[in-house]
Structure 1
Amino acid sequence: MNDRSAAPRRPLTLWIRRVAVLTQKDLKQLLRDIPLLIFVVYVFTLDIYVAGVGMTGDLLNAKLTVHDADHSQSSRELSYRFMLPYFDFAGEVTRPVHGLDLLDRGKTMMVLDIPARFDETLRNGQETAHLQLQVDASNVALGYLAPSYVERIIGYFSQDYAQRVRMSPISSGDPPPVIASIDNRTRVFFNTNLNGHWFNAVGQWLTMMTVVAVLLPAAAFVREKERGTIEQLLVSPVTPFQVMLSKVIATTLLVLLGSAASMYAIMQPLIGVPFRGDALLFFALNALYVFNISGLGLLMATFVRNQAQVGMLTILISAPMTMLSGTWTAPESMPPWLAELVNWSPLHHFIECSYGIIFRGAGLDVLWPSVLALIGLGGALFGMCVWRFRRQFG
């Protein structure tokens, strides 16, 4: 009875043992490649910290120059509201042309022009008081943010001025001034303080994990082609599927270790990124995504001949994938044809999973469409990889 029940299990056990031995070999090769190992440690630790702390989407220390043609209490009060840390008040100019000259020479980023009779216009209330803001939009991101910050400051100034008018004493018999106002109340979920450092840290982790998951298996495969050990594997009792699978498993284990270090040693304690979801589900989907991208890296490796070509193709694949998958730019802001193409990127679907688990605490009941997409894309990529391997070395 025992011999008969054990007999069918021997091929499966042997198959698993061969994959385990190949995986152990690939892990040893990766750990012996010191420059590549240093790169992996850096991108999962120091690089995440620098991106989370050093990069910000806020407007900080923007140089502002003022041309005040009114020289009234209201114009001075408005000018002094542009303070650090958002604005660096760079002083006043006597003529508008001097402000344009500063913009041309890059000495200031904005010039606020306050016209004459500004205070008088506000006090009369019969016409609209106009201001002019000239912005250097050479940096498009800052050029977009700066006017919005200025509009908020001017809006608060207008509200405060209207409040002072409402509270000022009036003559007997005169009706109190009626000034319309709008009370806008906004409630922010999942990132109450709009902390951009959280988004930058997670976005950089996604980007570098993609680069590593493409680079490691491709580099390992091409290294064996350069050294001629791939031919030795072909004459051994292993299948192309086992050869590919072992490299994917080795890469997945290393990336999971790096992701754990990023989350629990960098993002949470040093940057304060919350983790509201299930850790087991998070790392399971992390492994599924690495399986996808590793298959893409191995497929790429079947077309190249040396390590230099691996590096160039890794950049060629990972750069557009990260830029056009929603990591830094929302697909809704892309052209329709490009937004449809984004759905074929594994990173796009993993972004939905990672952000959902980390920030919203989402589970499989919410993330299952993205999980199914990852499974389908991963199976297709790995199948193409095995087919290409057999065609090249069969």
Structure 2
Amino acid sequence: MRSASNILRLGVKELYSLARDPVLLLLIVYTFTVAIYSVAHGVQTEVKNAAIAVVDEDRSALSERIRGAFLQPYFQPAALIGLNEVDPAMDEGRYSFVLDIPPNFQADVQAGNSPTVQLQVDATAMTLAGNGARYIQYIVQTELIKFLSRSETEVELPATLVTRARFNPNLDSSWFMAVMQIVSNVTILAIILSGAAVIREREHGTLEHLLVMPVTPGEIMAAKVWANGAVIVLASVLSLHLVVQGLLGVLISGSIGLFAFGAGVYLFAVASLGVMLSTVATTMPQFGLLSIPVFLVLNLLSGGVTPLESMPETLQSIMQASPTTHFVKFSQAVLYRGAGLSVVWPQILMVAGIGLVFFTCALLRFRKTISMSH
């Protein structure tokens, strides 16, 4: 009971210290409001307003029909350019796609030949290039079918593929980006706040004051973990309600309370990692430089940016030791698919187990740092 009381009181002291730091408070507010909204609206993975040009060497009714099939909001009105303009236009980045329709295209199609239509793609933006190329291929094939059938109805096929998109029926990338940005920001803030709390004590000379009090290093560290974790959980829950659901209109299928519980377990692990990093760095600039590569690895290889299954098997196995990998899987299951505790309990246990290892390692480092400073 005495240990719990010490942890509670030290955590309250940590909250007061955080409340007197306007820079960190501004960072928390910005991270869970402006950063979420701007990324969700600014980062687009679907084809939208893509610049396309057509080299029409046929000048037939079919080629005109294909050129007119590129409509907004997916594409800008297709520009008609000459063959000699293609390379300069692509080099200057004026068009993401250039479709070259060869001479005698309509005549070859009507004769049953197989003319080749060339599509040049600026693959600088890989997601736009891949999705846009598929869109264009589908548009050209659809117009060919309509032209050959001489009607606006598709040719009767022996089988029909019906696609149903679950959890995001409009395939809106902002739904995905908004939630995953919260997961990403939870990680970086947990590392920054917990590590900054330790370094702030060291720089202000208050760490020595704690050493003369009847508290243990474990209690000091646990207080910093729960206090900073509680702030981040509260900020993320408010962001889900006010920004994601309110401003962005994203449908949250699952329980935000369950997400908050899982986030609390996850913050126990990541905040411990932040404390451990703060025992390696001696100043705030050093801590910032050390945190950046750690956060980038945790974020980029967690499965939130690219599917974990697309990575090499060895890397997939290594990333199972990262709590971020399991938290991303947990968050997607709860917030996107409405999964309950019966589905996500393995991820919670994995995060808790990894967090216990991080906390133990951080505590050993923290004790060593305190003994050296003392």
Q: Which TM-score band applies after superposition, normalised by the shorter structure?
A: over 0.9
2:138 alignment counterpart: 152
1:289 aligns with 2:266: yes
| Deviation, structure 1 residue 180 | 5.1
Q: 1:43 aligned to 2:31?
A: yes
Shift of residue 156, structure 1, vs aligned partner:
1.8
Letter in 2 for 1:239: T
Corresponding residue for 2:256?
279
For 2:247 and 2:152, locate their aligned partners in 1 and report how far apart those are by CA, in whole Å: 47
1:179 Cα deviation after fit: 7.1
Deviation for aligned residue 1:145: 2.1
2:13 counterpart letter in structure 1: K
Partner residue in 2 for 1:241: 218
Relative to structure 1, the CA distance from residue 165 to residue 192 in structure 2 (aligned partners, 3 Å threshold; closer, same or farther) is closer
Match of 1:7 in 2: none
State the match for 1:63 in structure 2: 51
Compare 309-318 and 263-272 and name the one that shifted more. Answer: 309-318
Secondary structure at 1:373 match in 2: helix
The equivalent of 1:376 in structure 2 is 353
TM-score (norm 1): 0.90
Which residue of 2 is the match for residue 97 of structure 1?
Answer: 84
Q: Where does residue 106 of structure 1 map in the other structure?
A: 93
In the other structure, the counterpart of 2:198 is 221
| Structure 2 Cα separation of the partners of residues 153 and 341 of structure 1 | 42
Q: Which stretch shifts more, 213-222 or 106-115?
A: 106-115
The question of whether the paired residues in 2 share the 8 Å contact of 1:214 and 1:296 is answered with yes
CA distance in 2, matches of 1:162, 1:333: 40
Distance, in Å, in 2 between the alignment partners of 1:181 and 1:152 is 19
Task: Assess if the C-alpha contact under 8 Å between 2:67 and 2:78 holds in 1.
Answer: no
The question of 1:118 aligning with 2:105 is answered: yes
Mapped pair 1:387 → 2:364? yes
CA distance in 1, matches of 2:289, 2:240: 29
- Equivalent residue for 1:81? 69
Aligned match of 2:116? 130
Using the alignment, how far apart are the partners of 2:354 and 2:45 within structure 1? 33
1:53-105 deviations in whole A, cap 9, x for unaligned?
222111222221111111111110100111222222352223x2321221122
In the alignment, what sits opposite 1:172?
none
SS in 1 for 2:273: helix
Q: Hey, what's the Cα distance between the residues in 2 that align with 1:199 and 1:377? A: 26
Secondary structure in structure 1 of the residue aligned to 2:209: helix
1:68–1:113 CA contact under 8 A, matched in 2: yes
Give the Cα separation in 2 of the matches to 1:166 and 1:63: 26
Q: Is 1:354 aligned to residue 331 of structure 2?
A: yes
Partner secondary structure for residue 150 of structure 2: helix
Q: Kindly, what percent of the aligned residue pairs are identical?
A: 34
- State the Cα distance separating 1:138 from its structure 2 match: 2.1
Indicate the SS of the match to 2:167: coil
Task: Work out the CA distance in 2 between the residues paired with 1:142 and 1:371.
Answer: 35
TM-score, normalised to structure 2's length?
0.95
Change (3 A) 1:203 1:160: same
1:44, 1:257 → 2: CA distance? 10
**Superposition pairs of residues 248-327 of structure 1, within 5 angstroms:** 248-327=225-304
Structure 2 match to 1:193: 170
Equivalent residue letter for 1:324: L
What letter is aligned with 2:163? T
What is the deviation of 1:198? 0.7
Q: 2:11 matched to 1:23? A: yes
Aligned length: 370
Shift of 1:232: 1.5
What runs of 5+ residues in structure 2 fail to find an aligned partner? none
My pick for the range that moved more, 283-292 or 54-63, is 54-63
Q: Is the 8 A contact 1:45 1:261 kept in 2?
A: no
1:185-232 deviations in Å (ceiling 9; x for gaps):
112221111121110001111111111000001001001111221122
Query: In 2, distance between residues paired with 1:179 and 1:240?
Result: 74
Aligned position for 2:129: 143
Cα separation, 2, equivalents of 1:165 and 1:39: 59
Give the corresponding residue for 2:183.
206
Counterpart Cα distance in 2 of 1:162 and 1:362: 48
Contact 1:90–1:108 under 8 Å retained in 2: no
